[in-house]
Amino acid sequence: MEAAGLQRMKELVRILSEAGKAYYQESRELIGNYEYDRLYDELQRLEQETGVVLSGSPTRQVGYEALGELPKEAHELPMLSLDKTKDVGALQEWLGDQEAVLSWKLDGLTIVLTYEEGKLVKAVTRGNGEIGEVITNNARVFTNIPLQIGYQGQLILRGEAVIRYSDFNRINTEIEDVDAKYKNPRNLCSGSVRQLNNEVTAQRNVNFEAFLLVRADGVDFHNSRREQFEWLRGQGFDVVEYQMVNRESLPEAVSRFAEAIADYDIPSDGLVLLYDDIAYGDSLGRTAKFPRNSIAFKWADEIRETRLKEIEWSASRTGLINPVAIFEPVELEGTTVSRASVHNISIMEALKLGVGDVITVYKANMIIPQIAENLTRSGKIEIPKRCPVCAGETEIRQTNDVRLLYCTNPDCQAKKVKSFVLLASRDALNIDGLSEMTLEKFIAAGFIHTYADIFHLDRHRDAIVEMEGFGQKSYDNLIAAAKRASVTTLPRVIYGLGIAGIGLANARALCRHFGSDVDRMRHASKEELTEVDGIGEVLADAWIVWFGSERNNRLLDGLLAELTIEKEEMSQEAAIFAGMTFVVTGTVTHFANRKALQAEIEKRGGRAAGSVTSKTTYLINNDVTSHSSKNKKAKELGIPIISEEEFLQMTGGTGDAD
């Protein structure tokens, strides 16, 4: 083959592999879906033309190696990708004279469930198709997975773990810091399912939608996938929404799904067509990458041509400045769009964007506006050397293979506003009425420079009362809210500082570990920090960097001088669990939920952890004889397993029973 063709194939393998790794392992995006599909198709065409497949080609690789500390396990049957098309005619040709099940192709995380003797015994992620991560404890707290079913044989099925748009939007609404909001339901779901602490999973409302039965010995399904779907539904599983089709009815069915996607609450990136005749589908076998009994249909994106008017540079609390494309308005999927995130400088440079360029735009999964191609490719966009908010110097930093633009000015107003928004948010100081818009006005007017200034807004009473949208009543309410917020707890303060990765739960764990001693906390070494449950090396490094700044320490000291930090005083009797670590698992009956039981442990001086380790004092599980992984681990380590009743006997009371 020609050297140029081989070189292009090598380039495509590199680009696609890096993009796939970033997307699946690191929940970040190097290139858009449209561009990925275009490059993938180009590589596939070159391989077909030349008969050459390079080592590591994404057309032969299925997924990526599982990461993290979760146990790993090989799948009994490989989990392959699906071949795909965007042409309904090609779907009809593939289907021929067969009947098939047409269903949503859900955009979440694929999971394999195993049941034995009617009980859920194992849940494993897809991983790289050959080896996945064992997430059984997390699956047990999905909102809709049956823990026990009527069928007593071995059942193996596959499905998609998903977070609904309604839950995704609710979770994001509760996060007042714009920079901390989740980017899309798929990434949130992936992170939720692969948590080491299943308490976090339980809070995220993860759903499981079954889409394939792998094994159920002894059940006659009359050679029909449809009957398998309905049998699974009868066992208590939510089954992916589907419709039976043949060659003639297929186009109309695809149209109905397309019309429904705008209001569909579950993330989807296309459809799946699966032969109803099980034996026929199985007889077709598989390729190295694809099964031949099913095919994916990707939406033929509605693409519009428009002209790029400008690149808007959007600054954030972290100093990151993201490019946003502003273009002449176009109609896409029933709405008018005029802007699309370009995500980072690397993508902007790959598209060679320039003001006035003719570009094509589409909605990824028919929802999120994206740039498909730049037809002009002038590359005339200049990366700003000055921050658009504060005019401070900018610098380009390379994180892995992605070039990002940052503002270097520590006093940048964008950083200030976002930082104050976080400090005033519900889980931090909870200052009602101090919105982002109000903070922008106060900072611009010079009323607020440091955290402590929030509690001295009375110095600017006359000016605030005269501000547009304010008056005496609004001013009085704000001052009263600040006064209420001045009495708070240390974990709320620590969370409100905006240290990278330190959420409220981590803040609580740190405060407990260091006895709420701020000086000990700010001077803690990396070794001391990583002893705290939930704090790894990355979070420890972020903590040390934050407290290594003299300016940050001054900000905190000034803030603490304005606050009354409440400390729960515990009598000797109340602190009976001091120095003890409990893990709670399974269903609770005497408390409203596991969180209520964990709160009782912490109230009495103990620590509630998410996983069993050598430091665990007791595992609380009402099913003491359970074969769960936590029980097994506790027995291996010689850790006592106690019931709620036994725990309550230790407290001498009945706890916060419901």
Positions marked active-site: 105
Token pair listed for 71? 């146990």
Task: Report how far residue 147's alpha carbon sits from residue 121's, in angstroms, rounded to the nearest whole number.
Answer: 9
Nearest to 387 by CA among 489, 467, 313: 313
Residue 657's φ and ψ, nearest 5 degrees, are -65, 150
Edge-to-edge strands, sheet with 641-642: 607-609, 581-584, 618-620, 641-642
Task: Report how far residue 97's alpha carbon sits from residue 6's, in angstroms, rounded to the nearest whole number.
Answer: 40
Asked whether the CA dihedral 237, 242, 247, 248 is positive or negative, the reply is positive
DSSP 8-state code for residue 459: G
104: CB partners within 8 A, 6+ apart: 240, 241, 242, 257, 264, 266, 268, 271, 272
Cα-based angle 95, 97, 102 (whole degrees, multiple of 5): 40
Residue 424's φ and ψ, nearest 5 degrees, are -85, -5
Task: Report how far residue 13's alpha carbon sits from residue 9's, in angstroms, rounded to the nearest whole number.
Answer: 6
Q: Are 272 and 110 in contact (CB under 8 A)?
A: no
Asked whether the CA dihedral 639, 644, 649, 654 is positive or negative, the reply is positive
Q: Where are the alpha helices (DSSP H) in 382-471?
A: 413-424, 436-444, 461-466
DSSP 8-state code for residue 58: T
Task: Report how far residue 402's alpha carbon sits from residue 324's, in angstroms, rounded to the nearest whole number.
Answer: 16
218: CB partners within 8 A, 6+ apart: 153
Nearest to 91 by CA among 252, 207, 305: 252
CB atoms within 10 A of CB 102: 22
Task: Find the largest Cα–Cα distance for the chain.
Answer: 82
Own/partner contacts of 512-516, CB < 8 Å, gap of 24 or more, are: 512/602, 512/607, 516/490, 516/565, 516/567
Chain centre distance of CA 397: 24
Q: Where are the alpha helices (DSSP H) in 369-425?
A: 413-424
Q: CA-based Rg of the chain, rounded to a whole angstrom? A: 28
